[in-house]
Amino acid sequence: MNGFRKELIGNILPFWINKMQDNHNGGFYGQIDGNNMLNSRANKGAILNARILWTFSSAYRILKNEEYLKMAQRAFDYIVAYFIDKEYGGAFWELDYKGNPVNTKKQTYVQGFMLYGFSEYFRATGEQKALELAKDFFYLIEKYRDKVTGGYPEAFTRDWQPIEDMRLSDKDENEVKTMNTHLHILEPYTNLCRIWKDPQLESAQRQLIDVFTDKILDSNTNHLNLFFDEDWNVKSTAVSYGHDIEASWLLFEAAEVLGDKALIAEIKDLSLKIADAASGGIGVDGSMIYEYKNGHMDTERHWWVQAEAVVGYMYAYRNSKNAIYKERASQVWSYIQSRMVDNENGEWYWSRLPDGSINRKDDKAGFWKCPYHNGRMCMEMLEHFGID
């Protein structure tokens, strides 16, 4: 199993460097569609920009390529200038192509990804402003934590008041709390723990891990429940195999950074159970399908699910020494190389549809299609597993 460095530096990162820099209005374009057509006037999403910041910061930290540093700096400068709300704090959800806010809601998920990007930019560059911003976003997220039942509400208005439509996307249930947002608060807090030793941060990290073990995880199936009301009553029976396998390794990483041996041992065992549950989504071709919902198995193969499966199963292999996990990772990687990578136009397809055809309806680059899942997969393999 190899080729991760080649995929990262020869395909994924060059696509974003060569095709997505907006030299007219600053920052990055908002969309290249599934037919590889650039929409230079597409709105610009906070998720995309925060993930570009994280990806190129991490790539520079690991590979020391100055071109990656320039991309990270570009993302950082644009976010600070346009996405951050100077009046009420936090980051806007969406800008127009010229940088004017067009959707000012405060999605907790976005604040987490901004923190993730800022913390990684500091790790890569030592830029103190990035560390201060990461701390600011941490305090902001904690300010709006649910002090009664725990966890984090999904979204707010611009001035941090309750909002009627809390959904992260059209696919989501309109519920107060979600697994997805909590996973992507846990992830940046882990990164912040690497660079800032702070009692409040450590406490918040421990509480987040407890939320996963006590509220989100279904102890009967070892799948993660997805949507909850304010009091953590489960509001959906769907299974997201990609989120299961992603959470399996992010939870372990979250415990590991705290350095608590008893907690690490507990979460290591739990992470393997979650990885095993996720294996219910492995298809006959070695790839991982999307989800099970309302009695229906959605067999679409999404790009991000495949990337997370490679990383998740490699963590499971390292933590168990069971070769079956490494074999699963290898099979998913083979599927990616043969079916997900666009060797002609660069990057990866959004997905393969259930009939095996390429999904052209969804973006090649856009609001949700970012270099983070597949870029991170490659960097995890290089940095933590020594696989080139």
The pLDDT tens digits for 257-271 are 999 999 999 999 999
Task: Check residue 366 and give its pLDDT.
Answer: 98
pLDDT band at 170 (very low <50, low <70, confident <90, very high): confident
List the structure tokens of 232.
Answer: 């953590």
**Average confidence (pLDDT) over 364-376:** 98
186 confidence band (pLDDT: 50, 70, 90): very high
The percent of residues above 70 in pLDDT, for the chain, comes to 100
Which amino acid appears at position 226 of this protein?
A: L
For 73, residues 6+ apart whose C-beta sits below 8 A from its C-beta are none
- Model confidence at 166: pLDDT above 90: no
Confidence of residue 133 (pLDDT cuts 50, 70, 90): very high
pLDDT, tens digit, 9 for 90 and up, residues 101-131: 999 999 999 999 999 999 999 999 999 999 9
Residue boundaries of the structural domains of the chain: 4-385
CATH class of the domain defined by 4-385? mainly alpha
What is the C-alpha end-to-end distance of the chain, expressed in Å?
8
Tell me how far apart the alpha carbons of residues 336 and 374 are, in angstroms, rounded to a whole number: 10
Instruction: List the structure tokens of 119.
Output: 């913390």
* Position with higher pLDDT, 335 vs 166: 335
Other Cβ atoms closer than 10 A to 388? 12
